[in-house]
Chain A
Amino acid sequence: MASFKPTKIQVYPKLGEKVTQDTLYWKNYKAPVQIKEFGAITNIDFSPVAPHNFAVTAFTRVHIYGPFSQEPVKTFTRFKDTAYSGRFRSDGQLLVAGCEDSVVRLFDVSGKVALRMFKGHTKAVHVTDFTSDGYQILTGSDDYTCRLWDIPNATELNTYQEHTDYIRCGVTSKLNRDLFITGSYDHTLKMFDARLDKSVMTMDHGHPVENLLLYPSEGLLVSAGGRYVKVWDLLKGGQPLVSMKNHHKTVTCLSLGSNGQRLLSASLDRHVKVYNTTNYKVVHNFDYAASILSLGLAPDDESIVVGMTNGILSVKHRKSPEESKETSGQQRRKPSYRVFVKGKNYVPKQDDYLVSKPVKQHLAKYDKQLKRFNVSKALDTALETWLRRRKPEITVAVIKELDRRGTLKNALAGRDEQSLFHLLNFLIGNLVDPRFAPVLVTTAEMILDIYRSVIGQSPVVDRQLLRLQDLLEREIDYQKDLLEVLGMLDTMFASSIPRKEVPCSGISRSNGLGQGEASTSRPQLQAT
């Protein structure tokens, strides 16, 4: 006598990315806080000193937000036109910002009025930064020049006119007060030494350069332009090290996280990608609602701030250790089994005579019902709230098993309003899931057959049926679209594969079938 074979639960392959340490780390953020600004957010800069406020440059103002505030703690509004590039000095006391009206303004973080105004550029200034000693300011402008200014007497120290297009990014060295690098829309990066009158190094990025980033060690330079992120080795005279093309639109912003272990890039394609800086592979990906113009990362990755073209500032805060522990603790099961192992862990000695006891087969609830041929009850058990929400594959497997036994109709019939509602709810939730569709479509057809006569008697059921109909219509449209795309792809592939003559024997050629070209394609099948 064979024992009862339990229902086979199909194991489906886990879709999506693999869970790695990185995904766990970068997913450990709370839901984002969204703040609406007046215009596109062009720059985000974190204050180097605690509590790490951040300056957000959007439209004609620069807001300073505290780490957890939803309202700006400070606002600078004295701009005549769109402000650009609000940046903190290394002591967090001063803030500089460029403007569309070509005037560069310097603010005291605690004050309101500009301390200094640097006038000299003829066009909009998109780049401003403090040198490492904190007494000079670097600016880059759309008039193709970059200039150095002295803060105390607000005078222009030097002008460099080497770029042949707009200068849209630049960084100063944190270690050397005389070095700075600018990137321009003429595709070049130029490194300047304030002690000389011309650039000391030029690198060709190949695309208009949107952003620059220096490693803390300042041996490596990262540039973003076009769809490319490139890493340059400055110590080897500006040799290109890596070129990454992971975005499908222009990369607008770069940032370093985890103490230089991870590099983040944001793009107009609405993604933020996290790279491992040892092998420059993408380890994580964030999706946002709109094209991203600016990105800021708080020290120790405490928060990720992203500014978008639609003026929405999204702030994600890291979960505190207690919070993250709480969620994992809920999933862990209580060690209740230990209570029942009494005597079971006894190891027999050598001379002991072992009397084997038949092992009791443990059956799930629905299997117990199936064993007794209680088909309706088995379906009821499989449709319990927890099971149908958390493990729809079990519910589907039981339905499939009932179908195999030829008793699915009996199990579905004779239900009251409440259980029919649950059943339809489950169908609506899972019908379009490609893993379950074959089973659930037959189920849905059966339900419609059985309950056709009672349609219109219960508003609850009717509403569910309408939802089901709506869902199916949408799914059919979706499938149509997919087929269209597939057809397009097929034509594209067919035109790209070179035609090849197949050698044929004399016999096969004679029958007119010989000149065949076999259509072959690599599979995209998954094995379970």
Chain B
Amino acid sequence: MVEHGDIRVVHRGGSKINFREPVITNDSKFLLCASGECVKVFSTSTEECVHDLRGHTDLVTGVIIKPSNHLQAYSCSADGTVRLWDFTDGILIKTYVIGHPIYSIHASASHEGVVFVVTSMHADKRPDLLQLVAVHLPRSGDQMVEARELSAVLSDVSSNPLAIVFGRGGEYIASTKGLKLEVYLFRKQKAYSFFLKEDNKKGRRNTFTCVACHPKDDCIATGHEDGKIRLWRNFNQKKEYTYSTLHWHHSAVSSLCFTPEGTNLLSGGIESVLVQWRYNQEDQREFLPRLGAAITHITVSPDGSLFFTSHSDNKITIIQSCLKVSAAIQGLVKGESVTTDLMMDPRSKSLVLNGKPGHLQFYSLQRDKLLYNLDVVQQEYIHESGLQQFEVVKAAFDASGNWLATVEERKQKGAEVELNLKLWEFDEQTQSFVLNTTISAPHEAQITGMCFCHSTDNQTTMLVSTSKDGHFKAWQLDAQAHTEAADERPSWSCDFVGAYHSLVPECCCFSADGSLLAVSFQEVVTVWSTASWELLTTLSQPPKAIRNLCFGRLSCSKYLLGTTGNNLLCCWNLLTCSLEWSTSMDVSLLLADPISENMAAFCRQAGSTDLFVFKPSEPRPLFSQKAVCPGKVTRAIFAPREEMLESCEESSQWLNRSQLYFLTQHMDLMTFTTKVEEDRLMASSKQLVIDDSVAMTPFYLLLGKHRQQDSGDAQSGISTERTPLPQGSVAIKELLQTPAHVLPSTSFLCSMFVQSLLISVTEPREENKATEEEMESEKEEEDSEEEMESGTTRPEQAPLGRHAAESAAPALTKAQVRELRRVKKLDRSWFAGLLDS
């Protein structure tokens, strides 16, 4: 897959955390979520991700805490393995190979050494014939163990992990599929099945969706497609079982959960209301409405003090047992499609795309964290399936990030399309976007394209929107003089309406200096002067319509590039108004790097996508990679880097100043990284490794580490020894970076600091000796470290990164190194003194 050994395609954040039920540890400190091919460990108090448990090679389908050891967790995956982790340290302990793809995992305390997995044992591997299988995990010291002892418990079970649950400490197991509830009693070794009638009255269905068992009582709660909850009792016989029905949800109950004491039953569904039913007094219920998006899973912490709900918008909400939301862990929201393009917010340098219905999300790529959601529609979202709601379909930023334009759309069958164009101004005080102008029905039909004029010297900001009604409109901010009243802010109004032969405009693009506007009308590109709104020229490459349009930047600004429907990539020279070159490739996406001349073209080729990076003025592409990802790439963005890379290799130079992110067909956010960058990333991530059981405060960073160093000096240096950064010792850096108000008084620090300096002057010889010794000992440590590397089973990233950092340092001369060591030695001594005092 990789052609240039240097550049790799990697996943970059934004993975799903709501795929499976979040698992809460016994002490309620960590939350384990299956997230793509890894398991993420979140801290419940800080909501930060503290570990990525990596090791599975396919989708992780389930996580459970090991019943006999609450500091370890099992995870299962579609790659056919069950892995045992120490999640506090993030270490893989064991791998059990099952051999068949696993869909979910269950365990109970009464079945020691056994986990129950849902897998398809049949040779033909039909996914619809699943079995619940008990796996006896062999006791063996090996890393990789093959689990051979499998025994089927139930056949024909659902792949949904919510449909299988252990009841009353593992006495029985309840499984639902379709219209059948099956209970298997372990003591009797007998299974009972209960069927519901297929009730098609009023289009409602009786299908089971989820199941929960009461922890103390013999009671099974089942959720149904029609919003009903049934409480089953007396189910240990075939005939005299009973059930009672609770009904509040108007559509399917997606998750059910009993609290640990069994006093309450929690239920949730698409309404995004958490309902708490009092057990045995079911008419008493409490609600927590407006949780943001449909509830997919509910979990309760073992002590019953916290509820966790995961939502369809990739969010986990932490709720106190008094039904008060205390925190939320929010991932990148990925709907069915990205209707807005990927954009960069010029201010926060965050990725912007449509997220929750009616919202724009601002997602920090550096920190892999959702910064905030901007409510564009500003209407109460009605959680009901099949309802046509307003969706954000287009958005655009101007060059400075002061203005944001959004288009929201609501299509209703039989009615006109409702459109709103909204313009948002960045408010410095609140640091967010404030609505400035709402233009209802800016066009008569759907808006196909929208862009801001990106020139920075231009005083007036201009926005152009193209629509299926055959017009394109230019919008401009009114001059202040126009509004007479002082309290009235300047607002946007239409400046120009253009059309060309009643053809439908598709794409629009401003030139870099903002003097030209190119609008494509099917197969014709029209070029307009923005100053006078004159049609300057038309360009075309029949017979197929233009799909993408893009002006060159900087030195290539005389070129206009376009792609056509019949797989042509054309480059027009605007000075001669003629075709400069064209080449035949099926370009699905063409985009320009805003800070260089580079252009990127994603081309479809035999089911996968190729990437070409080129300059319009040069015949040879700068970079090309075949089969970047399977499927079609429709969204991509160049994100400017915070700090430039100094890569001199020709093929990776285009990544020096900006980074290319793209979304695959399956909505995975991918990017290209170079080796240099990866090394740097490793080095920095290693620095940040901290003990996560303690909250990370500046105090902790300053003091905790040095205490460790003091105590750990005598032992092996692995955890404590660290190469000093060339800029100065860690402690001094931290001392300078720590907020002043958390430090002791300056006079106190100063005297100690000076004192420590004085000592060093009086005993220079000893000092030198000491440093030399230290260097030697460190060398030994390095060696031992390498030895350990071969033996250790940690994820390989940490040692690798250390090695890289180590190798990066020796650019210094010997004298400098000595000086550094001296400084390090010094500050440690005085700081230790400070700690002891």
A-side interface residues toward B, CB under 8 Å? 1-8, 10, 18, 370, 401, 404-406, 438, 442, 502-508, 511, 513-514, 516, 518-523, 525-528
The docked-state distance in angstroms from the alpha carbon of A3 to that of B416 is 30
Measured between beta carbons, the chain B residues less than 8 angstroms from A513 are: 501, 523-524, 538, 540
Tell me the B472-505 residues at the A interface (CB within 8 Å): 473, 484, 491-501
Contact B494 A505 (CB under 8 A): no
> Measured between C-beta atoms, what is the minimum distance from B733 to chain A in Å?
36
Partner of B501 from the list A8, A516, A523 (CB cut-off 8 Å) is A516
Partner of A8 from the list B379, B496, B536 (CB cut-off 8 Å) is B379
Any chain A CB within 8 A of the CB of B148? no
Contact B290 A1 (CB under 8 A): yes
Q: Which residue of the partner chain B has the closest CB to A521?
A: B497
> Measured between C-beta atoms, what is the minimum distance from A262 to chain B in Å?
21
- Counting chain B CB atoms within 10 Å of each CB, the highest count among A401, A502, A527 belongs to A527
**Can you sample 7 A-B contacts with CB below 8 Å?**
A4-B380, A438-B416, A505-B578, A516-B524, A523-B494, A527-B494, A528-B440
The docked-state distance in angstroms from the alpha carbon of A185 to that of B495 is 47
Contact B539 A505 (CB under 8 A): yes
The docked-state distance in angstroms from the alpha carbon of A2 to that of B328 is 12
Measured between beta carbons, the chain B residues less than 8 angstroms from A522 are: 496-497
Measured between beta carbons, the chain A residues less than 8 angstroms from B687 are: none
> Measured between C-beta atoms, what is the minimum distance from B531 to chain A in Å?
14
Contact B499 A508 (CB under 8 A): no
Interface size bracket, B side: 35 or more
Contact A406 B497 (CB under 8 A): no
Q: Which among B381-389, B448-456, B605-613, B774-782 touches the partner chain?
A: B381-389
Partner of A508 from the list B375, B415, B533, B539 (CB cut-off 8 Å) is B539
Q: Which residue of the partner chain B has the closest CB to A405?
A: B382
Partner of B500 from the list A7, A406, A516, A523 (CB cut-off 8 Å) is A516
Measured between beta carbons, the chain B residues less than 8 angstroms from A404 are: 379, 382, 388-390, 410
Measured between beta carbons, the chain B residues less than 8 angstroms from A4 are: 290, 380
Measured between beta carbons, the chain A residues less than 8 angstroms from B473 are: 523, 525
The docked-state distance in angstroms from the alpha carbon of A68 to that of B754 is 101
The docked-state distance in angstroms from the alpha carbon of A26 to that of B387 is 52
Given known A4-B290, A404-B410, contact A518–B499 (CB-CB < 8 A): yes
Contact A527 B498 (CB under 8 A): no
The docked-state distance in angstroms from the alpha carbon of A525 to that of B387 is 31
The docked-state distance in angstroms from the alpha carbon of A4 to that of B289 is 10
Tell me the B499-533 residues at the A interface (CB within 8 Å): 499-501, 523-524, 526, 533
Measured between beta carbons, the chain A residues less than 8 angstroms from B378 are: 5, 8
Measured between beta carbons, the chain B residues less than 8 angstroms from A401 are: 379
Partner of B526 from the list A370, A511, A518, A523 (CB cut-off 8 Å) is A518
Q: Which residue of the partner chain A has the closest CB to B478?
A: A527
Contact A507 B540 (CB under 8 A): yes
Tell me the B319-345 residues at the A interface (CB within 8 Å): 325
Contact A442 B415 (CB under 8 A): yes
Given known A5-B380, A503-B536, contact A527–B492 (CB-CB < 8 A): yes
Measured between beta carbons, the chain A residues less than 8 angstroms from B816 are: none
**Bitwise interface map of B from 408 to 426 toward A, beta carbon under 8 Å scored 1, else 0:** 0010000110000000000
Contact A520 B440 (CB under 8 A): no
Contact B437 A527 (CB under 8 A): yes
Any chain A CB within 8 A of the CB of B709? no
Measured between beta carbons, the chain A residues less than 8 angstroms from B542 are: 511
The docked-state distance in angstroms from the alpha carbon of A252 to that of B416 is 51
Contact B491 A514 (CB under 8 A): no
Listed from nearest, the 6 A-B pairs whose CB atoms lie closest are A505-B577, A525-B494, A523-B494, A527-B493, A5-B380, A523-B497
Any chain A CB within 8 A of the CB of B799? no
Any chain A CB within 8 A of the CB of B357? no
Contact A523 B539 (CB under 8 A): no
Any chain A CB within 8 A of the CB of B535? yes
The docked-state distance in angstroms from the alpha carbon of A332 to that of B777 is 87
Partner of B538 from the list A10, A514, A528 (CB cut-off 8 Å) is A514
The docked-state distance in angstroms from the alpha carbon of A507 to that of B533 is 23
Any chain A CB within 8 A of the CB of B291? yes
Any chain A CB within 8 A of the CB of B685? no
> Measured between C-beta atoms, what is the minimum distance from A509 to chain B in Å?
9
Tell me the B430-488 residues at the A interface (CB within 8 Å): 437-440, 473, 484
